[in-house]
Chain A
């Protein structure tokens, strides 16, 4: 619901909002330019009487003196029947420049408030402002839901770049957008006469003295009014004794007799006028140029969010396939319920739907939010594929599922299988699917399969779960899920260094040339992506459409693509990689892995890895500069067998790129694992983390679990937890 409230006005009003905010950002610079160019008022107690006297002396035909909120003073006069307008230096009353309205400013102002279309345009622009307000409010609530509460509003964001950019810009600019859109609506209401008026000068019903010739310097009200309060002073027509001075100030407006100087009529501004003027100032920055500039900068957030928002919407739509051959709920033997936030879980559901249908099942696939047990008359099983939103919250398409499940009078008879989708880097990995499973178990709903999860959309983990499901169903089930594989490129092997033969665990550091692409291909995004150490290299092996991912051990600037691979028993992809001879090639592409990066600061870094997990860590070390302390803890089997990057590690230690290297060998007489050397070094690690160190862990899942336990123990005395470090982005893992 909230997401629809955000998405629909966003898509409808995106172009309108881009026009309004871009023009608003340009307009925001004018008040600052105006006050920078206007002659400054050097006498702090200058009165309107003195100013008017000076101007009248220089320009005897003066008609009107105006003071803009920026402090710029303008005089309009007639000289021998020809109208003139000058910007006045208040110190002398002399004009310093001709006053001319900027045609550009006028055009942009009209574009901004009425799209150059008069009243219809004003209403359209107001609708744009209302959309912007609705988007700001709904976006704010979505952000709170995403980060897990108001207090965590400025917590570090995770997830794909575009989504992060969208929220990052949003929380920096939402204050300005709320202010600008609210004040815009007020100003439109005021323009259309919907705001009460209590600031106009009174009607001129009083009689004048009939005398003329009072000098402005002698009029007491003008002598008592500082120039800073002046809005406008209009002189009487020459030779018309029935006319009078008209004065408008920040306080009110009225008429002064041109013979006696007496105040003929005066009305103070009411509260509505003061409110209107304040809102005008807040919206335009006229009279508060610095505020205008800040709001203008914040307004630039809206076009960025419009663009990223549309990209996110397109991505979600693309990722959500149409389920082909969906069986009606009442006819299906298998009910497939999907809880998806961004749409990627629907892709997995489509793969499962197809495979089960090919195996002869009648499958009904629908959103978890449309769960209706009474309709599943022929169902023999229910399968739930559920992602998690934020800190364990229900994803968009699963809203209300748990309530309906809790409300069931008794547990269904047909068994349930729950598969969670999530990202192990989040503190609440698969929190929602675990909750679904817990509630189902409490109800006594029989479970078809043990709890299972898929980390970061891994096709391998999904396929593994599929085989387990197939076993439970009594037939084979091969799930080859491929989410839109990017265009792959031929990677030619330049060199290889082999390890592990002694331990019957062959492994190698493989170095490929960066595939060349023409300028056009690169500009259109069809070239080989620029990459950093820690990004993933997707390799598409022959004989399987499903890519396997390896962490990159080099960055683009190194001039080569390097990965560290060990041969898995029966592994299709690792086998093909390790069989490559220099000069041969294999298909691959880059996938960004932005969370697994060293932070942009000078704080220490602790790298922890084992086996081929050294790859990205070596890449970080290679890209490090002396001055940032980087400490490596590395576990291997035996120094003579699989000490990857042995020579480089020595060199990098010598030139300062690595502050320390601590090894653990599990197949020597010492038999230590990397978590053991961490515990032995507890004091140092505790100190480094106290200094704000970031921890990056890469390797097998068992090793990562051992490392997490060791670190938790090391941190506990200081009152720190891994969850806390994770939340700050100071503990990141890349495990397999």
Chain B
């Protein structure tokens, strides 16, 4: 379980000026037993037009592999300033990743989408394996992944 006071790397328009305007959100990601090494995952937000807005969490510590999180990488160039302080360990096959973040209220019900890119060594890259609109109604409803992610849920 990862707890973070605020999503530091969200671009300036979305950063949380004070805790009053934020809510605590838990991301639960369950992985399939895909028979490979630990998966790298990138959690990030795009706006309604699909433009990248900011990163929330990177699971996987070796920056040399970040280009395989290909949608996220294409948007950020793997810039370390995007992910300072929001990285953790990669997630083993069949395991669960649970992270709790304080997210700005403005992110919800405003057309923003949460993307999860996944990549596993020597296996196919799986960019935007999960794409889910951030809405109050969508909370608690599991979304299925395509390859490495069995399902993903966010709870408030």
Q: Which residues of the partner chain A approach B125 to less than 8 Å between Cβ atoms?
A: 64, 234
Q: Is A200 an interface residue (CB 8 A)?
A: yes
What are 5 contact pairs spanning A and B, CB under 8 A? Answer: A83-B147, A101-B122, A203-B74, A234-B125, A246-B70
A-B contact count (CB 8 A): 49
B35-86 residues at the A interface, CB under 8 angstroms: 35-37, 50, 61-64, 67, 70, 73-79
Does A404 reach chain B (CB closer than 8 Å)?
no
Asked if A202 contacts B124 (CB within 8 A), the reply is no
Contact B36 A106 (CB under 8 A): yes
Across the interface, B37 reaches (CB within 8 A) one of A83, A110, A197, A200, namely A110
Whether the pair B35, A197 counts as a contact (CB closer than 8 A) is no
Q: A101-B122, A190-B64 are in contact. Are A200 and B35 (CB under 8 A)?
A: no
Using Cβ atoms and an 8 Å threshold, which residues of chain B touch A85?
124
CB under 8 Å from chain B, chain A span 181-222: 190-193, 197, 200-204
Q: Give bound CA distance, A118 to B35, whole Å.
A: 17
Inter-chain contact A193/B78, CB cutoff 8 Å: no
Alpha-carbon gap, A64 to B123, bound state (A): 11
Known: A203-B74, A204-B75. 14 other contacts (CB 8 A): A83-B124, A85-B124, A101-B36, A101-B122, A118-B89, A191-B64, A192-B62, A193-B62, A197-B64, A200-B73, A201-B73, A242-B50, A246-B70, A246-B74
Given A101-B122, A106-B37: A202 and B62 interface contact (C-beta under 8 Å) = no
Question: CB-nearest residue of chain A relative to B36?
Answer: A101
Q: Could you mark each residue 80-102 of chain B with 1 if its beta carbon is under 8 Å from any beta carbon of chain A, else 0? A: 00000000010000000000000
Residue A76 interfacial (CB < 8 Å): yes
| B106-152 with Cβ < 8 A to chain A | 122-125, 146-147
Q: Say whether A523 faces chain B, with CB atoms less than 8 Å apart.
A: no
Contact A83 B146 (CB under 8 A): yes
Given A101-B35, A103-B35, A106-B122: A191 and B62 within 8 A (CB)? yes
**Given the interface contacts A64-B124, A193-B62, A246-B70, does A203 sit within 8 Å of B36 by beta carbon?**
no
The CA of A197 and the CA of B79, in the complex, are separated in Å by 12
Q: Which residues of B contact A101 (CB under 8 A)?
A: 35-36, 122-123
A197 to B125, CA, bound (A): 20
- The 5 A-B pairs with the shortest beta carbon distances in the complex, nearest first, are A203-B77, A204-B74, A76-B124, A200-B67, A193-B63
Does A63 belong to the interface (CB within 8 Å)? yes
| Other-chain contact of A202, B37, B77, B147 (Cβ < 8 Å) | B77
Of B74, B77, B89, chain A has the most CB atoms within 10 Å of the CB of B74
State how many angstroms separate the Cβ of A192 from the closest Cβ of chain B: 7
Specify which chain B residues have a CB less than 8 angstroms from the CB of A200 in the assembled complex.
67, 73, 77-78
For the side of the interface on A, what is the size category?
20 to 34
Distance between Cα atoms of A192 and B36 in the complex (Å)? 21
Cα distance A103–B34 in the bound complex, in angstroms: 11
Q: Is A119 an interface residue (CB 8 A)?
A: yes
Across the interface, name the chain B residue whose C-beta is closest to A193.
B63
- B contact residues around A192 at 8 Å (CB): 62
**A202 vs B74: C-alpha distance when bound (angstroms):** 7
A191–B74 Cα distance when bound, in Å, is 21
B107 to chain A, nearest CB (A): 22
A83 to chain B: which residues have CB within 8 Å? 124, 146-147
Nearest CB of A to B156, in Å: 30
Across the interface, which residues of B come within 8 angstroms of A201, CB to CB? 67, 73-74
A191–B122 Cα distance when bound, in Å, is: 15
Chain A proximity of B122: nearest CB distance (Å): 6
A162-197 vs B: 1/0 string, CB under 8 Å?
000000000000000000000000000011110001
